[in-house]
A and B are shown apart, each in its own frame.
Chain A
């Protein structure tokens, strides 16, 4: 069937296309939907509108270069993607980042998570008809992006993590500015609840919408807040700690609701956990080098290396296959959005078509990470 051509199947189901240019898909995602009246019978995702073949590209880039291409996958978790690749290379070299670099990495990763969740919150409100939350969230997100800009010169695709540590040391103002940001978030967080969480119309659009059970969430490979809202314990920071997360105090937020409302609550609670993590580190950044010494040309020994991290959307896995050369033989990204997307047809089955927007808003897809 051609795009834009509506038709009715033999069973009387009406087939429509949502996307690739649709405001609620947050990117170029195309969903083909089979409807019976307003009830969704089947959803089929069609992908590839921004496929850039990042895995193929990585096969011709050195172990220093390929790290930065991943900023363009999940651009809202750019730091954490870079961190995953840097950690994978470090695993191959059997080195560890310096304590100072680890602390900086964790602070930056949690700031990224905060910024990402704030953007999600803003857009979730927007998708469900509330424009005002957008401005509240962007007020704080802007402050975080300013810290990013001062530290590494970029606001979105920071390219700050390198194998062995970080690219350059933090700015002298870093600690003060991060503390200001944290104070701003904590002072203003009650406004988030007042304007959106407590809104009855908003709650009714999320409750009992897009339910997925614990078993299904595991079977579909869901991770991150999407899976934790169904009660699946899957926080990589807890299960397979990296970069010193095991020394930090924080809680893995779990809910048993399984619906969009549970996913919303998990993300809201996670923001406060990220603030808590940064607070533990910001006054305790160890002195020392900001990067471990590595050779100019990095060559990994022959073999497979798998490194996973927790991005703002779930488990990102970097699977590196090395044949001993200076470039990866094969590089695969297990992307959290790809797996979460595959669960959307399950969540949307039997829902009303208007609810699909609520489901996609709370699963929080970033399309470039799906297409890669």
Chain B
């Protein structure tokens, strides 16, 4: 599908979605609550068939967190970026997509570890890199600890 067709089809599913075409891939920006139903459609519908989640990460924009999912379809060879906006930065949470793409399990553990985003219905949410009693989430912009050197 071309970007225009993708846009048209996603708007039918989710009228509240915003689009950003400034970067290389078509980017869909959605509220975090709408993530799971949209992702399920993107995976299961034959004309989307996004079977390969090749990058899952998070960006801290200080007033909100943005989950970023890069998706590719091996059959149709089209790419899309889904960004889910989490407005609650104190207690951020979002649905896990582990049931759709299995690669999400460890990637979500990593985001939980470094950003503190809690993934609902994740089979084994744990701190992947840091110790279990580590205070704070290092990739958050407001993170500080006594070992950090101010440049």
Which among A45, A218, A317, A321 is the interface contact of B59 at CB below 8 angstroms? Answer: A321
Q: Mark A271-303, 1 if CB is under 8 A from B, else 0.
A: 000000000000000000000000000000001
Chain A residues with Cβ below 8 Å from B107 are 338
Contact, CB under 8 Å: A338 / B70: no
A155 CA / B144 CA spacing, docked (Å): 36
A338 CA / B106 CA spacing, docked (Å): 8
Contact, CB under 8 Å: A219 / B55: no
B57 interface contact, C-beta 8 A: yes
Q: Mark B62-78, 1 if CB is under 8 A from A, else 0.
A: 00000010100010010
B25 interface contact, C-beta 8 A: yes
Closest to B149 in A: A60
Contact, CB under 8 Å: B128 / A330: no
Do A342 and B106 contact each other (CB < 8 Å), given the known contacts A221-B53, A315-B54, A319-B68? yes
Which among B52, B57, B131, B151 is the interface contact of A218 at CB below 8 angstroms? Answer: B52
A234 CA / B103 CA spacing, docked (Å): 16
Say which one of A48-56, A105-113, A120-128, A143-151 lies at the interface with B.
A48-56
A305 interface contact, C-beta 8 A: yes
Do A218 and B139 contact each other (CB < 8 Å), given the known contacts A306-B24, A319-B57, A321-B59? no
Shortest distance in angstroms between B93's beta carbon and chain A's nearest beta carbon? 20
Which among A47, A215, A218, A346 is the interface contact of B129 at CB below 8 angstroms? Answer: A47
A177 interface contact, C-beta 8 A: no
Chain A residues with Cβ below 8 Å from B51 are 215, 218-219
A91 CA / B110 CA spacing, docked (Å): 27
A60 CA / B139 CA spacing, docked (Å): 12
Contact, CB under 8 Å: B24 / A305: yes
A220 CA / B52 CA spacing, docked (Å): 8
A34 CA / B98 CA spacing, docked (Å): 22
Closest to B56 in A: A334
A48 CA / B127 CA spacing, docked (Å): 9
Chain B residues with Cβ below 8 Å from A332 are 55, 57
Chain B residues with Cβ below 8 Å from A47 are 128-129
Q: Mark A210-223, 1 if CB is under 8 A from B, else 0.
A: 00000110111100
Specify the main secondary structure of chain B where it touches its partner: loop
Chain B residues with Cβ below 8 Å from A339 are 103
Closest to B110 in A: A338
Shortest distance in angstroms between B98's beta carbon and chain A's nearest beta carbon? 10
Residues of B bordering A, CB below 8 Å? 22-25, 27, 51-55, 57, 59-60, 68, 70, 74, 77, 81, 101-103, 105-107, 110, 114, 124, 127-131, 138-139, 151
Residues of A bordering B, CB below 8 Å? 44-45, 47-48, 51, 53, 55-56, 60, 91, 215-216, 218-221, 232-233, 239, 303-306, 308, 315, 317, 319, 321, 329-330, 332, 334, 338-339, 341-342, 346, 371
Closest 5 CB pairs of A and B: A221-B103, A48-B129, A51-B129, A334-B55, A332-B57
Beyond A218-B74, A319-B70, A329-B59: 20 further Cβ-contacts under 8 Å?
A48-B128, A48-B129, A48-B131, A55-B114, A56-B139, A219-B102, A219-B103, A232-B74, A305-B23, A305-B24, A306-B24, A306-B55, A317-B55, A321-B59, A332-B57, A334-B57, A338-B107, A342-B102, A342-B105, A342-B106
8 A-B residue pairs with CB within 8 Å: A55-B139, A219-B51, A221-B101, A304-B23, A306-B23, A308-B54, A334-B55, A338-B110
